[in-house]
Amino acid sequence: MPAPAREILALASRRRARATLVNVWATWCVPCREEFPLLLRLAREYEPRGLELLLVSADFDDRLPAVRRFLAAQGVTDTSYLKAEDDMSFIDALSPRWSGALPATFVYDGAGRQIAFWEGKADEARLRKSLEEALAKRSSMEDSSP
């Protein structure tokens, strides 16, 4: 589903999830393909705790069949997104710190605040630390609610 950056940010700030992991990837990006199984495994593991995974392909529209084949081969059945604006507008809207390198990973807490961001392939320890931090922020917010 095509989506501009503002829509991805709106999805990440919905209060439906306790934490949101946004991963921008492309079929031609080797590190993106390498980290994909880890992202999916952690998303399944953390989903019961309130994590939502948003996958955003940076492929061009003409690569949509390859995107669909890759997602199907990975067992992805949830809605995934395709960058729907020019590269620099998309990059700058998601984060002015992002150079545009792929993969790019963004972690948001349940209030839509960005907790972590990095470029390049993520390792499991970094992902877990960021997810735990995002989930803890939401939990501490809930604990202090009247």
Residue-by-residue pLDDT tens, the chain, 146 positions: 889 999 999 998 877 789 999 999 999 999 999 999 999 999 999 999 999 999 999 999 999 999 999 999 999 988 899 999 999 999 999 999 999 999 999 999 998 999 999 999 999 999 999 999 999 985 444 444 44
C-alpha of 33 from chain center: 14
In angstroms, the CA 22 to CA 105 distance is 6
Q: Residue 4 and residue 33: Cα distance in Å, rounded?
A: 22
Q: CB of 102 within 8 A of CB of 29?
A: yes
Q: How many CB atoms lie within 10 A of CB 103?
A: 23
Contacts of 14 (CB under 8 A, 6+ apart): 20, 112
